[in-house]
């Protein structure tokens, strides 16, 4: 088990290194010259050359890459561990930018995840247990509609109705959880609902089909033949199996969202990783882009690992394979 875990962690590190190399190469071959951006509009070509030298951009790519990676692993002079370089825009350490923004994206992702998981699974199970009923058809029509609406549209409608007309909620303005928990929740409510309405719909549909399949399994009949209460049959025997595939997609979705929900953050003006990504792309801020790419890759690969471990915990056939 320890050995397995060690191997998997090494594999994660390997994947991250490869992603890092690929991203690095892509940025290297891009036509935009980072020195021009870093220097500013009024720089002369001599100044740019100087900046280029200072940034190490005149060195061969493998040297630059080695310097970058060792900076992440151990820091380098003047740039504390873990060093992801400095933003071209404001010369702040990329790591500090990432950590500052992380709280926002994590708040957004976790809150929304809790919401969509609960709602999605409840709808899915209810639909599955009353397959073909009016309730099932209504819920499924609703989820189909909800899943087809783009995030920015949902966001706009919610803002218009709840904030503009009804003045029921304030316009989202992020507050740190540690300073103002109530403000944190009320301001994140709309973004949570927006994101969750999309994911909950997809989860409801997944849960429904998985649950229908499971409830038709012979072992469910066995459970009923034991005289168990239908409630026990559904939860202990049905949902236990039916939700296993949901765990997988949940891990992946959450991993992806932790590294920023670009559209949602942008629409609601939330200063998260997604917003940082958005700005970095438009300003060709390569160190930041590299940083957010690696962060996303990190979350996704780690989520993958966690999902596999959780899976082995749920399904003994995987554990003993």
- Which positions touch other proteins (CB under 8 A)? 217-219, 221-230, 237, 240-241, 314-317, 320
Nearer to other proteins, 134 or 166 (CB): 134
Q: Is the Cβ of residue 43 or residue 314 nearer to other proteins in the bound state?
A: 314
Number of C-beta neighbours around residue 110 at 10 A = 15
Tell me the closest approach of the beta carbon of residue 211 to other proteins, in angstroms.
Answer: 15
Quick one: which of 76, 87, 95 has its CA closest to 38?
Answer: 87
In whole angstroms, give the CA distance from residue 233 to residue 246.
19
Instruction: CB nearer to other proteins: give 205 or 237.
Output: 237
The distance of closest approach from Cβ of residue 220 to other proteins in the complex, given in angstroms and rounded to an integer, is 9
Lookup: tokens for 155: 């966001």
Using a 10 angstrom Cβ sphere, with 0-12 exposed, 13-18 middle and 19 or more buried, the burial of residue 274 is: buried
Q: What DSSP string describes 174-223? A: ---TTT-HHHHHHHHHHHHHHHHHHHHHHHHHHHHHHHHHHHTSHHHHHH
Tell me the helix, strand and coil percentages in the chain, rounded to 5: 75, 0, 20
Nearer to other proteins, 186 or 217 (CB): 217
Nearest-approach distance from CB 182 to other proteins, in angstroms? 41
**Euclidean distance between the first and the last CA atom of the chain, given in angstroms as a whole number:** 13
* CB-nearer residue toward other proteins: 306 or 314: 314
Taking alpha carbons only, the member of 285, 255, 271, 264 closest to residue 99 is 271
CB of 317 to other proteins, least distance (A): 5
Of 103 and 212, CB closest to other proteins? 212
CB 98 within 8 A of CB 273: yes
* Smallest separation (angstroms) from other proteins to the CB of 134: 17
Three-state DSSP class for 258? helix
Burial 66-91 (b: 16+ CB within 10 A, else e): eebeebbeeeeeeeeeebbbbbbbee
Rounded to a whole number of angstroms, the minimum distance from the CB of residue 212 to other proteins is: 14
Q: How far is the CB of 232 from other proteins (least distance, A)?
A: 8
Closest to other proteins by CB, 209 or 217: 217
CB of 254 to other proteins, least distance (A): 23
Q: Which is nearer to other proteins, 279 or 315 (CB)?
A: 315
């Amino acid at each position: 088990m320890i050995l397995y875990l060690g191997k998997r962690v090494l594999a994660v590190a390997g994947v991250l290194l490869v992603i890092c190399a690929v991203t690095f190469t892509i940025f290297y071959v891009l036509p935009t010259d980072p020195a021009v951006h870093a220097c500013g509009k009024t720089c002369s070509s001599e100044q740019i050359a100087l900046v280029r030298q200072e940034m190490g951009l005149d060195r061969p790519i493998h040297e630059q890459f080695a310097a970058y990676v060792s900076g992440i692993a151990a820091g380098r002079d003047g740039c504390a561990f873990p060093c992801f370089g400095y933003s071209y825009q404001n010369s702040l350490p990329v790591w500090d930018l990432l950590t500052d923004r992380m709280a926002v994206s994590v708040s957004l992702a976790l809150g929304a995840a809790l919401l969509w998981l609960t709602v999605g699974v409840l709808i899915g199970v209810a639909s599955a247990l009353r397959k073909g009923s009016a309730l099932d058809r209504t819920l499924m029509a609703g989820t189909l509609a909800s899943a087809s609406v783009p995030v920015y549209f949902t966001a706009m409608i919610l803002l218009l109705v709840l904030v503009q007309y009804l003045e029921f909620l304030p316009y989202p303005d992020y507050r740190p959880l540690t300073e103002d928990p109530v403000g944190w929740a009320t301001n994140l409510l709309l973004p949570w609902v927006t994101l969750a309405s999309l994911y909950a719909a997809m989860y409801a549909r997944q849960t429904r089909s998985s649950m229908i399949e499971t409830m038709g399994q012979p072992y469910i009949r066995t459970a009923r033949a034991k005289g168990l209460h239908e409630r026990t049959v559904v939860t202990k025997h049905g949902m236990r199996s039916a939700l296993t595939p949901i765990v997988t997609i949940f891990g992946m979705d959450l991993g992806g969202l932790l590294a920023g929900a670009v559209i949602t953050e942008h629409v609601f003006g939330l200063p998260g990783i997604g917003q940082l990504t958005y700005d970095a792309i438009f300003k060709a801020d390569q160190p930041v882009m590299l940083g957010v790419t690696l962060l996303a890759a990190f979350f996704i690969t780690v989520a993958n690992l966690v999902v596999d471990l959780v899976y082995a915990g749920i399904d003994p056939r995987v554990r003993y394979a």
